Amino acid sequence: MGNAALISGYSFSLPYANHPEQLMSNLRQGMCVNTAPWFASEEEAIKCGFKRNVSVARLNAKKESDLDLIYRLIEEAMAQAGLTSATLAGESVRVYLTGLGPRIDAMDYKSFYDKNDIEDVALSASIKNLHVRNMSQDYLAFKLAEKYRLQILPAAMHCTSNSALTAIHLGCQAIERGGLDLVCIINCSKINTQDIWFLENQSMLASKVVQPFGKNSQAVLFAEGFSVMLLERHGYRGIQERNNAVSLKSNYIQTSAGRSHDTGWLSANLLKVMRSVLSEAAVTPEQLCAIIPHGNGSSTSDKSEAKAISMLVGEQKIPVLAYKGMMGYTATGSGIIDLIIGAEALRKGELIPAVANDEISDELSHHLLVNQPVMPHQKLHQLKTGLGVDGSIIGVVLSLFAKEETSR
């Protein structure tokens, strides 16, 4: 396996589930995430420029701060990996912060736009949220470096989408080249009003139906979430004693963001990435137990992925897994959650079908695993893809290795 990048540990906090066992159990039971309207009323939504009120899946309010939640998730992931948090202070360790970073809500600025004298500041609580401490992009990085005595400040990869999977790719590349022993990827995805506006302008809230690869779906089910994933170099701790290690092989290309709505262009480049990463991993489509696409219910990207997958698999019937219509779409962090689901599916030797709420598109109707019993499998590989509105396309091959193979 050389310097293969192995998934060492992971943890998360989602509106849908708070740990891997609960996540897989909820998927098995066909549960759907609870949502609530973003605005107090339909009238308020329309006043703010929306066609209708939008329902989202939010994290349960807790006394725990965002920073304390991150600390807890790091500790849980480290414990699963059999490591202590002191390990993060090593020289060959890097931490990546992904998501959108600390921000203010645009609605607070809107209040300030009309009320900005000293009396307004004193009486309008929302204006106080505009304090610079709530916008510091370096605050989380500094606190993490301070607590865990990091040798290098965490790289803050705050961007619109695909940032967690981009960090996974960078971590895999660094590990494979012998530059790092351990990589910690942290994702913080919280929703603000401007995020809803962004999705509206991207035509990603155009329908009430949300179903990945659904014929009538033109929307995503927006969800919050925090997650942590640890990657380690094979052999980092000497002979690997843990069974069922999952390795990752990744590939990335950057396309023109201006053509992100061009279905033909997107599908052609996605096909290139999928073929390239499979070739690098020495895996053929026939060896895949499943494909986990980006598949979030948005019409343009879903059509592009459906076309690319159809061209990749041809007449073969390879299951496609897409759960974002059930559990929600954690923008910037969904890639980590999909990798966790993929790793669990490889280790347990079973594929859990999703519950569909719309008719599936013709191109993927024979591949998308929906509304049927759990499917057992004995294959060792899986393909995950990710798309970003910034033009990024990422492919990741997950491979399961038995104990005797990881000890070589």
CATH number for the domain that contains residue 230: 3.40.47.10
> Mean pLDDT, to the nearest integer, of 91-114?
82
* Domains of the chain: total: 1
DSSP structure string for 286-345 = GGEEEEE----S-HHHHHHHHHHHHHHHTT----B---HHHH-B-TTTHHHHHHHHHHHH
> Mean pLDDT, to the nearest integer, of 372-400?
95
* Residue 305: domain span: 5-102+137-406
| 369-374 long-range Cβ contacts below 8 angstroms, 24+ apart | 369/290, 369/319, 369/320, 369/321, 374/28, 374/350
* 331 inside domain: yes
pLDDT at 5 over 90: yes
pLDDT given for residue 114 in this prediction: 60
* 277 inside domain: yes
How would residue 371 be classed by pLDDT, with cut points 50, 70 and 90? very high
pLDDT given for residue 408 in this prediction: 40
* 368 inside domain: yes
> Tens of pLDDT along 295-311?
999 998 999 999 999 99
pLDDT given for residue 48 in this prediction: 85
* 12 inside domain: yes
> Mean pLDDT, to the nearest integer, of 320-328?
97
> Mean pLDDT, to the nearest integer, of 85-93?
96
How would residue 121 be classed by pLDDT, with cut points 50, 70 and 90? low
Where is pLDDT greater, at 277 or 198? 277
> Mean pLDDT, to the nearest integer, of 387-405?
83
> Mean pLDDT, to the nearest integer, of 369-373?
96
pLDDT given for residue 124 in this prediction: 65
Write b or e for each residue in 109-145: b if 16 or more Cβ atoms lie within 10 A of its Cβ, otherwise e.
eebbeeeeeeeeeeebeebebbeeeeeeeebbbeebb
Of the ranges 63-67, 73-77, 290-294, which one carries the lowest mean pLDDT score? 63-67
* 116 inside domain: no
> Mean pLDDT, to the nearest integer, of 49-62?
90
Of the ranges 34-38, 149-153, 259-263, 395-399, which one carries the lowest mean pLDDT score? 259-263
pLDDT at 112 over 80: no
* 47 inside domain: yes
pLDDT given for residue 246 in this prediction: 96
pLDDT given for residue 406 in this prediction: 43
Q: How far apart are CA 74 and CA 90, in angstroms?
A: 16
pLDDT given for residue 105 in this prediction: 85
pLDDT at 134 over 80: no
* 367 inside domain: yes
> Mean pLDDT, to the nearest integer, of 234-250?
80
pLDDT at 267 over 60: yes
pLDDT given for residue 60 in this prediction: 87
* 113 inside domain: no
pLDDT at 347 over 80: yes
Q: Which residues are bridge partners to 156 per DSSP?
A: 97
pLDDT given for residue 111 in this prediction: 61
> Tens of pLDDT along 355-365?
999 999 999 99
Answer whether 49's CB lies under 8 Å from 105's CB.
no
pLDDT given for residue 345 in this prediction: 97
Q: How far apart are CA 166 and CA 163, in angstroms?
A: 5
pLDDT at 226 over 80: yes
Rounded to two decimals, the pTM is 0.93
Answer whether 130's CB lies under 8 Å from 302's CB.
no
pLDDT at 236 over 50: yes
To the nearest whole number, what is the mean pLDDT of the chain? 90
Where is pLDDT greater, at 103 or 174? 174
